[in-house]
Each structure stands twice: as C-alpha cells, then as structure tokens.
C-alpha cells in the first residue's frame, strides 16, 4: 500500500535539497552560459569537510560553516585559475568534468569506497499523522529554504543581485552600463560553491557521504534545470519538487531499481515538447 504521508514528507525534504543543488548550477549557467560539471564534486567536498570537522571535535554545525566556505573557495579557485581563461563553453564543460573526476577519485584514493555518516544536525524524532519523522530531516527542509530564500532575496532585492540579473540577460549590455561582468561571474561561481557546499552537508546528513555522492544530484540538477528553464531560479525550485516527487513515488510505489529513471524521462519529454522549460528564456549571448 502506498504511504501518502511518507511520500509527501520525503518529497518535501528531497525537493528542497534538489532545489538547493540545482540553484547553484542554474545560477552559473544563467549568468555565464557555462555548465559546471564540477558542481557534483563540490557537493562531495562539502559533505566530507563537515565529516572531517565533526570528526576532529568541531561539531557538525562548525562543519556546515566550513563546508560552505570551502565550497565557495573551491569555485573561486576553479574559476580564477582555469575557467576565466577559457572562452569556449564546451572546453569549460570538459575542464569541469575533469575537475569532478579528480575530486571523486581523489576521495576514493584517500578514504576508500565505504560511505561515511555525516552527523545529524539535530537529534530526535516526532510523529505526524501517525508517521515518525527525524527532526534532522525537518531541519534539512528548513535550512534548505533559508539558503533558497536568502539567495532569492539577494538576487531580487540588492544592487549586486540586479547586476547579476542584468549580466544574465545581456553581458555586453551590462558591461556598457558599468557593471564589472567578470566580477559578477566570479561572484556567481562563489555563490554556487557556497550552495553546493551546504547542500553536500545536508545531503550527507540525510543519507551518507561517499566518494561518488555527487553523481545522482548532478544528473537530477540537469533534469531540474531543463524542466524549470535554464537560468530561472523560480523554475528550478518548482522543478525540484516535481522531480523529487517523481523519484520518491517511483521508489515507494514502483521499484527502487528505477531510481533516477524518471529524471531521464523528464529530460527527454521536456526537450521534445517544451525545450525552454517551465520558465525558460534564451541563453545569454
């Protein structure tokens, strides 16, 4: 029998996590027109940063703070040292794919293939409609929305955020009105790293941290960005919940072996029926 309450609860938690992951990915794509495949590696870096910090006695909350900083710094270095010198988006795709492989296999060589548990941010359980929920999962949902809301407010209600929107719409036009587009692009990479680092901790706390943990979220982020519309933060949030529901429903009501299949089907259907997605627009020139 299908447990509607459990499916709804897991959809809320997974949807918020996927939205957090996809927002960083679509932010870079929308502003710079660059697909950052190292995004999955940044999620892994975030999770293991928190795991190391907690293991050294710093606690998981300090680990969360360290993960966000580490994720942002990794993206800053990646952009300043490599990506900014590459004009062809395809070469950026290849470079970030290589960076992702280096990260994943670096962790595999350093710590092995055994998954590691990132400590819970909050212990205990509660019961809703007869179904038991971990406080940690409820907190993951809340924290995800804190980050999502903070980014949404920053982009829409600050001068720097308006510069990000202007750059995403027309980079040359933004430069003509005095916006330092290279600085804005660097900022979007840093913000995406911040979000991916935090998502890694929350995802690792929800499931577990492993050397290849970034693969599934990255594939889902692709599906979410395509469904929501490239460059659309609002579309990414809505699409994240649709993908989250489809995955949870498939695992719960059909078969766990089909996990990830729905995301691939969504990509195919959207590309055939509505290539711009729910809130898509033309890519920046």
Query: Would you give the distance in Å from CA 102 to the centre of its chain?
Result: 19
Among left, alpha and beta (phi > 0; psi -120 to 50; other), residue 259 is: beta
Question: Given this model, what pLDDT does residue 98 score?
Answer: 95
Question: Given this model, what pLDDT does residue 110 score?
Answer: 93
Question: Given this model, what pLDDT does residue 192 score?
Answer: 95
Helix (H) or strand (E) holding 133: strand 131-134
Question: Given this model, what pLDDT does residue 2 score?
Answer: 57
Neighbours of 111 (CB within 10 A): 15
Dist CA 6 CA 183 (whole Å): 44
Burial 253-276 (b: 16+ CB within 10 A, else e): eeeeeeebebbeebbeebeeeeee
CA-wise closest residue to 81 among 212, 223, 186, 216: 186
Sequence-ordered list of residues with C-beta below 8 angstroms from that of 96, at least 6 positions apart, any chain: 34, 35, 36, 37, 38, 39, 78, 83
Rg of the chain, C-alpha, whole Å? 18
Question: Given this model, what pLDDT does residue 1 score?
Answer: 54
Segments of the chain with pLDDT less than 50? 282-285
CA-wise closest residue to 229 among 280, 283, 284, 168: 280
Q: Which two three-digit tokens encode residue 282?
A: 């033309």
Question: Given this model, what pLDDT does residue 205 score?
Answer: 92
Long-range contacts of 89-94 (CB under 8 A, 24+ apart): 89/33, 89/34, 89/35, 92/34, 92/35, 92/36, 93/34, 93/35, 93/37
Helix (H) or strand (E) holding 125: strand 125-128
């Amino acid at each position: 029998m299908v447990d509607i309450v459990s499916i709804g609860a897991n959809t809320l938690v997974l949807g918020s996590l996927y939205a957090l992951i996809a927002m960083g990915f679509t932010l870079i794509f929308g502003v710079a027109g660059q697909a950052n495949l190292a995004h999955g590696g940044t999620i892994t870096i975030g999770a293991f940063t928190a795991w190391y910090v907690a293991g050294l006695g710093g606690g998981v909350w300090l680990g969360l703070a360290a993960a966000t900083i580490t994720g942002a710094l990794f993206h800053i270095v990646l952009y300043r040292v490599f990506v900014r010198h590459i004009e062809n988006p395809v070469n950026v795709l290849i470079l970030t794919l290589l960076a992702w492989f280096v990260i994943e296999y670096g962790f595999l060589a350093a710590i092995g293939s055994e998954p590691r548990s990132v400590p819970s941010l909050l212990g205990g359980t509660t019961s809703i409609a007869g179904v038991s929920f971990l406080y940690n999962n409820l907190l993951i949902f809340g924290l995800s929305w804190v980050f999502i809301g903070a980014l949404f407010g920053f982009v829409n209600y600050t001068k720097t955020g308006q510069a990000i929107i202007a750059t995403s719409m027309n980079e040359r036009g933004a430069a003509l009105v005095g916006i330092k587009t290279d600085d804005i692009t660097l900022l979007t990479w840093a913000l995406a790293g911040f979000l991916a680092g935090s998502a890694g901790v929350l995802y690792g706390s929800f499931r577990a941290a492993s050397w290849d943990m970034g693969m599934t979220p990255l594939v889902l982020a692709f599906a979410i960005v395509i469904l929501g519309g490239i460059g659309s933060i609002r579309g990414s949030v809505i699409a994240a919940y649709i993908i989250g529901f489809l995955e949870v429903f498939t695992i719960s009501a059909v078969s766990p072996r089909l996990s990830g299949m729905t995301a691939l089907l969504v990509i195919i259907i959207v590309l055939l029926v509505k290539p711009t997605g729910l809130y898509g627009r033309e890519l920046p020139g």
